[in-house]
Structure 1
Amino acid sequence: MAHYLFNLTGSGQSLPDQAAAFLRSNTWPIDPTEPHAQALASGDQVLIYLGPPERVFIAHAELASPWTDATQGVLLTHVERWTPPIPMETVLAKIPPTENAQADFPRAVVRITRVEYESALSAATN
């Protein structure tokens, strides 16, 4: 089992609205050229992150499928939305200094460590 951060960025429709629509459908679109797209597997754990300007975690989920051409992404299961969202700075404060965490990401799919994943879960439950 691997851990990933799904980083939603862009313009146009608001990031929260886009993410809500994806989560309602239990799917997450991923471009097949993303470096980790083909490595995604059922059972992997993901954090859903809204990039700038929001910089908040809004959910975590488990992958119900690998990346498929049929969905142009992955299917999600066990989705837990966080209300209110968890600010990135709250999560960064929980990550040990030896981790290489950051707030902004150049890619839509980012492989993260188990410690980084669990730090976000801890921030969401405190």
Structure 2
Amino acid sequence: MAYGQGLADRVRTLAPDRVTTATDLFGTETAETALALGVPPERISTIAAGPNPPGGVRGTGGEQARPADLERITDAILAGEITVPIAATFPIEQIREAVTLQAGRHVHGKIVVTL
């Protein structure tokens, strides 16, 4: 999905019943949109909003993760409860290409590097 002007309307079209939670992995646009859609701040997390996330949203990061969290997230992905879009996969020998693609910030999904 494209970011930018009209994001809330595009999300409403895709989820007409309502959005219940959100995670913002870059900046604050997703968090701000989720707040505008009525998602309670305690149901929104962000890893890149800086020291003052908008509207009471909680900042989070890997240092706060508990050992059981990774297993819980993995189980949710395997059960189809969370979708992780993969934009591209690179062998480790092409790490420079993977980093270059990610650094362009126009990737829609995760960059996977295989070992």
TM-score by length of 2: 0.29
User: Which structure is higher in helix share?
Assistant: 2
User: Larger % of strand: which?
Assistant: 1
Larger radius of gyration: 2
